[in-house]
Amino acid sequence: MTRPPPPFPTKDQLLDFIRDSPTPVGRREIARAFRISGDDRVRLKALLKDLEADGAVERGRKRQLAPPRTLPEVAVIETSGTDADGECLARPLHWQGDDVPRIFVMPDPAGQAALGPGERVLARLRRSPDGTYEARVLRRLLGGPATVVGIYEYGPRGARVRPSDRRQKTDYALTADGAGDAEPGDLVLAEVLPATRLGLRQVRIVERLGVAGAPRTISLIAIHQAGIPTQFPPAALVEAEGRTVPDLRGREDLRAIPLVTIDGADARDFDDAVFAEPDDDPANPGGWRLLVAIADVAHYVRPGSALDREARNRGNSCYFPDRVVPMLPEALSNGLCSLVPGEPRACLAVRMRIDARGDLVDHAFVRGLMRSAARLTYEQVQAAIEETPDDTTAPLLDAVIRPLLAAHRALAAARARRGTLDLDLPERVIRLDPQGRVAAIEVRRQTDAHRLIEEFMILANVAAATEMERRGVPCVYRIHDQPDALKLEGLRPFLEAIGYGLAKGALVPAHFTHVLKAVAGRPEALLVNELILRAQAQAAYDPENIGHFGLALRRYAHFTSPIRRYADLLVHRGLIRALGLGSDGLTDESVAEMERTAAHVSMTERRAAEAERDAIDRYTAAHLAERTGETFGGRISGVTRFGIFVRLDGIGADGLVPVSALPDDFYEHLEDRHALVGTKWGRIYRLGARVEVRVVDADPLARSLLFGLVGSDGADLPGLPPVHDLPGRRRSVPTRGRGSRPRPRG
């Protein structure tokens, strides 16, 4: 008896088959798997074309199909270190964009030497259901890290440099004459030399950074590991020292207007000043006139100059708890370009009128000369808003601060109507004592004073982008794309399962804000905020405008911080060119390079953000190193196949509880459910759950925090359904925990 053919697969069945395949598949393999033959092959071809047109799959090498942004079966990868379990990690060499796939490099069965960080290999890749990859090395290629930050040590094996990054497990051998003036125990920057023999790679020390463990060296590790330039070329310094404040020729005199700067108490460069007053135009009842004046950096940093080349190279300033690595030399960043009170300063200013609803009515840009009436801090302004002004703010209360606050309220109302994405994720602030040690770790408080400046700057940025678009001048826009559809595919059912609906179809920021407001103050608030953040695209710079999703704006460009962001300087030059405000505007050469420049400053921004987080993590580890053994409460902030990350209450530090330290069981990582589940005893550790941990190890040089669980259970979030009832699929092979064995239930 002939068996009837199986039913023809649906789109969903085909998509599941392609997604679950560890390697890209061709049409022939799909037909064989579903026993498709004859005329049904034509039907299969049409269905696969539909999936491709929907963006659900992509064709790669040899027209094989795979989920979008899937790596090929064979690719060049670069090792990046090891994870907490000692597994070698790598990334694709030429990956574009965010969400870099995580690649685990399998040990070489032939027993060859382990790969060091930065090595490049040709590897065969196999995709796991959780989206990670296993790589088997086919051939080692030339290449490796150019420099390494580490500790110079001398022992029985000779001179060594031990990397400060714990992910780099291999030491480097120091050449016979490679120590320079460094002494054992110093933190050093070393150049990795070309490999010429078997054994450890050799290095030569190029800079002594200080004594290892000294407080002032903590930021230096982050700075040098990120490759952030710290020394200005002599030509750039000479140019900066030779600049002077211009006179009024070609400028409007704004010195009589009581503009004020409002910044953090520890700020050193003041590049924006604000003023507001009621609009006396009868056609705009209840409206406001706003003035935002920005330091005229373009006057001092001319296109093609040594200053300009170095500013572009740096891309932005970088801020650390104990220092700033500025984009411009101090003579400009803290001098001529800083809007210090009582001193004449060149500025590029925008006059704006808003109506009573906070909508922008019109705007006009001018090049001017201003004099700041006061340097105010957020704390001073907030105190004045709360009717407790000090000696500085009291004289400014009626004429300056109250009008600013009233205009801000109108802008805030417009923002609320527009519907923006406002995540509630605390930001850590490190406070240091005079010796550079951690005095306190605080969560930054967001006040009306902060929001006032934010709204004024956003409006000025919108005006800048609008003006350049209207004039037809190329612009480096600040763009923020819509959330990735694949990320939303996992987020929407998860939120629905825990009681928070997310609209179907195309989303706008207000949809997310509705969920965030509903969850505010509830135990699962951290969980929801984290998940929504992870679903968002990363903001970037681009000459092609796609709008700013998070701010719900059609056009947006950074204009307000040219002292610390090169993108803003380009926008200033664009406005100068568009409005005929001088000969130092945007050049044709800059226009031709704009796409490359936008990509470069997007990279330097990410580099700075990573280095700043790195330094904060190291300072936090230094603070907790003195509290080893102490117990803290916290919530699970991350779940991986190698363990859980726990964020401590108050301090905000994230530390790892390795899976090997969890109670004895085999743990399965359910990525879509953000949970580790014990397959034998059923213990569950999921994102957002409360736990109590003990500090086991804190190493600032290695930027590592290891915690141990106090007790064996994490308290789950009240009111949430069991993790097995949530949507998603099991994603990874179980990993063994080696802690104390729990008693069987029942």
> For residue 594, what are the contacts with CB-CB under 8 A and spacing of at least 6?
474, 476, 543, 570
What per-residue confidence (pLDDT) applies to 4?
Answer: 66
241 and 193 fall within a common domain: no
Beta bridge mates, 104: 89, 134
- Which helix (H) or strand (E) segment holds residue 678: the answer is strand 675-678
Cα gap 178→205, rounded to integer Å: 6
**Is residue 500 assigned to a domain?**
yes
**Is residue 710 assigned to a domain?**
yes
If one counts the domains in the chain, the total is 6
Of the chain, the end-to-end C-alpha distance in Å amounts to 51
Q: Which residue, 20, 36, 66, sits at the end of a domain?
A: 66
| Average pLDDT for 65-87 | 73
Residue 540's CB: how many other CB atoms inside 10 A? 21
Q: Could you tell me how far CA 157 lies from the centroid of its own chain? A: 40
What per-residue confidence (pLDDT) applies to 737?
Answer: 63
What per-residue confidence (pLDDT) applies to 741?
Answer: 39
Above 80 in pLDDT, residue 469? yes
368 and 433 fall within a common domain: yes
| Weakest mean pLDDT among 168-177, 436-445, 459-468, 572-581 | 168-177
Strands 288-295 and 344-354 turn out to be antiparallel
> For residue 563, what are the contacts with CB-CB under 8 A and spacing of at least 6?
269, 271, 295, 297, 317, 326, 327, 328, 332, 333, 337, 338
271 and 347 fall within a common domain: yes
Sorting pLDDT into bands at 50, 70 and 90, what band is 720? Answer: low
What per-residue confidence (pLDDT) applies to 418?
Answer: 93
| DSSP E strands, 506-630 | 540-542
| Average pLDDT for 242-258 | 95
Burial of residue 547 (CB within 10 Å: 0-12, 13-18, 19+) is middle
Measured CA distances, 512 to 11, 535, 549, 674 (Å): 29, 11, 11, 19
Residue type, 161: V
57 and 166 fall within a common domain: no
| 3-state DSSP assignment of residue 503 | coil
Sorting pLDDT into bands at 50, 70 and 90, what band is 62? Answer: low
The CA radius of gyration of the chain, in Å to the nearest whole number, is 29
pLDDT tens column, 500-554: 888 877 889 999 998 999 888 887 787 788 888 888 988 999 999 999 999 999 9
What per-residue confidence (pLDDT) applies to 272?
Answer: 96
Cα gap 48→58, rounded to integer Å: 10
What per-residue confidence (pLDDT) applies to 470?
Answer: 96
CATH number at residue 733: 2.40.50.140
**Is residue 392 assigned to a domain?**
yes
How many degrees, rounded to 5, is the angle at CA 664 between CA 676 and CA 106? 65
57 and 202 fall within a common domain: no
Cα gap 589→570, rounded to integer Å: 12
What per-residue confidence (pLDDT) applies to 565?
Answer: 97
Longest CA pairwise span in the chain (Å) = 100
> For residue 222, what are the contacts with CB-CB under 8 A and spacing of at least 6?
320, 611, 612, 614, 615, 618
Measured CA distances, 387 to 381, 383, 446 (Å): 10, 6, 18
464 and 505 fall within a common domain: no
**Is residue 600 assigned to a domain?**
no
Above 80 in pLDDT, residue 142? no
411 and 280 fall within a common domain: yes
**Is residue 367 assigned to a domain?**
yes
504 and 408 fall within a common domain: no
**Is residue 202 assigned to a domain?**
yes
158 and 83 fall within a common domain: no
Closest CA to 651 of 321, 427, 323: 427
The percent of residues above 70 in pLDDT, for the chain, comes to 88
What per-residue confidence (pLDDT) applies to 629?
Answer: 93
Above 80 in pLDDT, residue 614? yes
275 and 407 fall within a common domain: yes
Q: Which domain holds residue 120?
A: 74-141
The better pLDDT of the pair 526, 559 is held by 559
Measured CA distances, 53 to 46, 47, 68, 505 (Å): 10, 10, 12, 18
Cα gap 514→470, rounded to integer Å: 34
**Polymer length of the chain:** 746
Cα gap 454→565, rounded to integer Å: 16
Cα gap 331→324, rounded to integer Å: 14
Above 70 in pLDDT, residue 253? yes
| Average pLDDT for 278-304 | 97
Report the chain's mean pLDDT, rounded to a whole number.
Answer: 86
Beta bridge mates, 189: 149, 207
Above 80 in pLDDT, residue 96? no
Cα gap 616→218, rounded to integer Å: 9
Long-range contacts of 129-132 (CB under 8 A, 24+ apart): 129/19, 129/20, 129/729, 129/730, 129/731, 129/732, 130/641, 130/669, 130/671, 130/731, 130/732, 131/101, 131/102, 131/671, 132/101, 132/102, 132/103, 132/104, 132/732
Alpha-helical segments (H) within 358-508: 378-385, 402-418, 448-471, 485-497
Tokens of 477: 């826009």
What per-residue confidence (pLDDT) applies to 245?
Answer: 95
Cα gap 287→280, rounded to integer Å: 8
Above 50 in pLDDT, residue 445? yes
369 and 439 fall within a common domain: yes
The better pLDDT of the pair 107, 25 is held by 25
pLDDT tens column, 409-434: 999 999 999 999 998 887 888 999 99
Q: Could you tell me how far CA 387 lies from the centroid of its own chain? A: 37
The percent of residues above 90 in pLDDT, for the chain, comes to 46
Q: What share of the chain is helix, strand, coil (3-state, %, to 5)?
A: 30, 30, 40
Beta bridge mates, 530: none
**Is residue 548 assigned to a domain?**
no
Beta bridge mates, 344: 371
Beta bridge mates, 371: 344
The better pLDDT of the pair 293, 121 is held by 293
The better pLDDT of the pair 184, 146 is held by 184
For residue 353, is it left (φ>0), alpha (ψ between -120 and 50) or beta? beta
**Is residue 561 assigned to a domain?**
no
Sorting pLDDT into bands at 50, 70 and 90, what band is 143? Answer: low
247 and 366 fall within a common domain: yes
pTM: 0.78
